[in-house]
Structure 1
């Protein structure tokens, strides 16, 4: 004899349907809201500085959202194109020499430029790998983003002690935009196959969203326990 499943009450069905609607509508609404916010933010920064003859709103009977964002992208692309030729490089170098003469501004400019060059440089592997480290104590594991090998004075100090250290970024949950910079021995890092995007989803959801294609690897820990490769000697 098969047992009959209990029938759900009308209130339970309404609640389940409401929750299903939230799951469907919330991601769409949040995505649209964030997109619209970015477009309005870009328009508010670009449009006020556009000459009237170049503002498309002056030729239309309605405001055209996104025109400021599009024009901003075009201007940034043109600046990047001009900055690659000889004359553009000379202008950039002259501008940077002026900035470096201002005591406080030169420190901020140098730090911000170094961050953007490291993050946006095509040859950089920073934050493109995800790993696990034992944190905050042995037996407890935390997910980290691999930044780069230890360099400069920090690398020389660790090398003198016989340690090959790697800098990693330990983000918190559920907002992975802030965190801790930690230097970890290379052999102590368990490298994962998941992409940084999948790792961010896992962190933001508090471990509730796990990439389906990695489920088999997570079920078999030996599949993910591979050491971080040593740096290539040039």
Structure 2
């Protein structure tokens, strides 16, 4: 009876682990759906007409496509420049906007002025290696963001000497996948042997 119970619990845990990615994706889809529905209700409440509501969303879609194309081709459309001109004059908000803009640019732009490297650094103590994103450089110092598992959006920002880091072949997507999967999705086994 005890072995049957152990098998049932084992299969139950395996089933939970198999379903977790599906549940997470469904939660994200439901979250986006709830945001869209609340926006739809907000617009519908003002216009009280489905045609105007649909027209608003079609216009919004093409406006975002235009902004994306302009950013891709010219790096700064007039709409964004006008908004930034206003935001620059508002204390506190201008700081938040500037920081968020730099962080998002790190992940979406091909701008070579923004570091997009992944390196290894000893953290939180010697002999323990973690992947980190290079976010800035100054002379012999490197600014790193060290994400935590399994949530790569939280972590620590540290400044270290260049001599304390080991280069990695991973890109940001590989490193994020490694962190989210708590090390299960890691195909750079040769890199491990290079770590002292």
Same fold (TM over 0.5): yes
Offset of residue 10 of structure 1: 2.8
Counting only pairs closer than 5 Å after superposition, residues 185-200 of structure 1 correspond to structure 2 as 185-200=161-176
- Asked if 1:149 is matched to 2:137, the reply is yes
Q: Is the 8 A contact 1:127 1:196 kept in 2?
A: no
Name 1:19's counterpart in structure 2.
13
Q: Is the 8 A contact 1:167 1:184 kept in 2?
A: yes
Q: Is the 8 A contact 1:133 1:190 kept in 2?
A: yes
Offset of residue 80 of structure 1: 4.4
Name 2:53's counterpart in structure 1.
55
Q: Which residue of 149, 152, 164 corresponds with 1:176?
A: 152
Query: Structure 1 stretches of 5 or more lacking a match?
Result: 1-7, 57-67, 151-158, 226-234
TM-score by length of 1: 0.62
Offset of residue 71 of structure 1: 6.8
Q: Which residue of 26, 34, 43 corresponds with 2:37?
A: 43
Name 1:230's counterpart in structure 2.
none
Name 1:76's counterpart in structure 2.
64
Distance 1:169 1:181 in 2: 4
Query: Structure 2 stretches of 5 or more lacking a match?
Result: none
Offset of residue 184 of structure 1: 1.9
Distance 1:12 1:108, change over 3 A: closer
Distance 2:100 2:11 in 1: 48
Distance 2:68 2:177 in 1: 32
TM-score by length of 2: 0.71
Distance 1:15 1:171, change over 3 A: same
Q: Is the 8 A contact 1:133 1:144 kept in 2?
A: yes
Distance 1:133 1:33 in 2: 33
Offset of residue 96 of structure 1: 3.7
Distance 1:174 1:108, change over 3 A: closer
Offset of residue 190 of structure 1: 0.6
Counting only pairs closer than 5 Å after superposition, residues 130-169 of structure 1 correspond to structure 2 as 130-150=118-138, 159=139, 164-169=140-145
Distance 1:140 1:26, change over 3 A: closer
Distance 1:77 1:102, change over 3 A: same
